[in-house]
């Protein structure tokens, strides 16, 4: 039986953008699992699974609902130990992946959010635009336009934040070594979020991390690349 995967989208169901959902979409492909993808808009989330799933991503496998990207990855590890490739390798892999998740959330997501807020807004249906603007302006305490204003000046900050990733990838093709692990998908989810919503043209073509992004885009028969880059 296929795993039902709830995937956050805007007005176009074929342009999923959530970094957390992309982690799981890639992880499901990594495990070679059959998936029933269900596109969900922001204002539709409270209605899925009878209201049991309040955030995305979420999966339903044989009637078992699992939410939260890391919890889903652990579930896939335990429920499908012999399917596809491993998402975690070694005794410390789970803890190290938690660190990668924390680094990504604090260092990359915070920057991307400030860059992409208005681009995300433009991708949504009118009813979702109302929800998104209201919820984000309440969360951040200022208009979206004020958050995004002058965003080009923040690019050097992003490039500095990439230093640990750039340094590691200078000696190996993936965070997981010679092949990707869940930690790669955690970080890649952030880049795919930026790529789908705003594009990656703001990052200099000479940036070495983009070579890793290209490798990630090619995985699983070009799964992530099949969603076009914004402004491409």
Which DSSP state fits 205?
T
Where among 44, 79, 114 does a domain terminate?
Answer: 79
User: Looking at the structure, do residues 25 and 132 belong to the same domain, yes or no?
Assistant: no
**C-alpha to C-alpha distance for 116 and 19, rounded to whole angstroms:** 12
Instruction: Express each pLDDT in 188-223 by its tens digit.
Output: 999 999 999 999 999 999 999 999 999 999 999 999
Report the CATH number that the domain containing residue 134 is assigned in CATH.
Answer: 1.20.1050.10
Let me know if residue 31 belongs to a domain.
yes
Where among 22, 48, 79 does a domain terminate?
Answer: 79
Instruction: Express each pLDDT in 140-160 by its tens digit.
Output: 999 999 999 999 999 999 999
User: Looking at the structure, do residues 75 and 99 belong to the same domain, yes or no?
Assistant: no
User: Looking at the structure, do residues 67 and 99 belong to the same domain, yes or no?
Assistant: no
Let me know if residue 84 belongs to a domain.
no
**C-alpha to C-alpha distance for 124 and 140, rounded to whole angstroms:** 19
Which DSSP state fits 174?
B
Q: Please give the pLDDT value at position 85.
A: 97
User: Does residue 232 have a pLDDT over 60?
Assistant: no
User: Looking at the structure, do residues 119 and 215 belong to the same domain, yes or no?
Assistant: yes
Count up the domains in the chain and report the number: 2
Q: Can you give the length of the chain in residues?
A: 232
Share of the chain above pLDDT 90, in %: 99
User: Looking at the structure, do residues 192 and 129 belong to the same domain, yes or no?
Assistant: yes
Q: Which among 122, 203, 193 is positioned nearest to 160, based on CA atoms?
A: 203
Instruction: Express each pLDDT in 82-141 by its tens digit.
Output: 999 999 999 999 999 999 999 999 999 999 999 999 999 999 999 999 999 999 999 999
pTM: 0.97
Let me know if residue 227 belongs to a domain.
no
User: Looking at the structure, do residues 108 and 215 belong to the same domain, yes or no?
Assistant: yes
Instruction: Express each pLDDT in 15-37 by its tens digit.
Output: 999 999 999 999 999 999 999 99
Q: How far apart are the first and last CA of the chain?
A: 37
231 φ/ψ sector (left φ>0, alpha ψ -120 to 50, else beta): left
Let me know if residue 85 belongs to a domain.
no
Where among 55, 79, 103 does a domain terminate?
Answer: 79
Let me know if residue 86 belongs to a domain.
no
H-helix or E-strand spanning residue 8: strand 3-8
Neighbouring residues of 213: CB distance < 8 A, sequence distance ≥ 6: 188, 191, 195, 200
Neighbouring residues of 106: CB distance < 8 A, sequence distance ≥ 6: none
User: Looking at the structure, do residues 20 and 129 belong to the same domain, yes or no?
Assistant: no
Q: Tell me what the mean pLDDT of segment 175-187 comes to.
A: 98
User: Looking at the structure, do residues 142 and 203 belong to the same domain, yes or no?
Assistant: yes
User: Looking at the structure, do residues 51 and 142 belong to the same domain, yes or no?
Assistant: no
User: Looking at the structure, do residues 122 and 159 belong to the same domain, yes or no?
Assistant: yes
What is the span of the domain harbouring residue 35?
3-79
Report the CATH number that the domain containing residue 33 is assigned in CATH.
Answer: 3.40.30.10
Let me know if residue 171 belongs to a domain.
yes
Looking at the chain, list the stretches that DSSP marks H as alpha helix, in order from N- to C-terminal side: 19-30, 69-79, 93-103, 110-122, 126-140, 144-148, 155-161, 163-169, 182-197, 209-222
């Amino acid at each position: 039986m296929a795993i039902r995967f709830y995937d956050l989208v805007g007005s176009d169901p074929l342009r999923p953008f959530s970094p957390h959902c992309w982690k799981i979409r890639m992880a499901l492909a990594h495990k070679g699992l059959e998936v029933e993808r269900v596109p969900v808009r922001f204002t539709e989330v409270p209605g899925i699974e009878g209201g049991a799933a309040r955030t995305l991503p979420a999966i339903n496998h044989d009637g078992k609902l699992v939410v939260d990207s890391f919890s889903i990855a652990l579930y896939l590890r335990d429920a499908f130990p012999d399917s596809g490739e491993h998402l975690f390798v070694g005794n410390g892999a789970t803890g190290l992946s938690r660190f990668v998740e924390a680094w990504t959330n604090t260092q990359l997501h915070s920057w991307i959010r400030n860059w992409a807020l208005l681009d995300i807004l433009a991708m949504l249906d009118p009813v979702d635009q109302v929800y998104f603007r209201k919820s984000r302006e309440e969360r951040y305490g200022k208009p979206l336009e004020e958050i995004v204003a002058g965003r080009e000046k923040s690019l050097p900050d992003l490039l500095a934040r990439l230093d640990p990733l750039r340094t590691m990838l200078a000696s190996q093709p993936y965070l997981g070594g010679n092949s990707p692990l869940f930690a790669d998908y955690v970080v890649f989810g952030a880049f795919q979020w930026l790529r789908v919503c705003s594009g990656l043209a703001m990052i200099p073509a000479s940036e070495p991390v983009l070579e890793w992004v290209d490798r990630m885009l090619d995985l699983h028969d070009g799964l992530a690349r099949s969603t076009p880059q914004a402004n491409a």
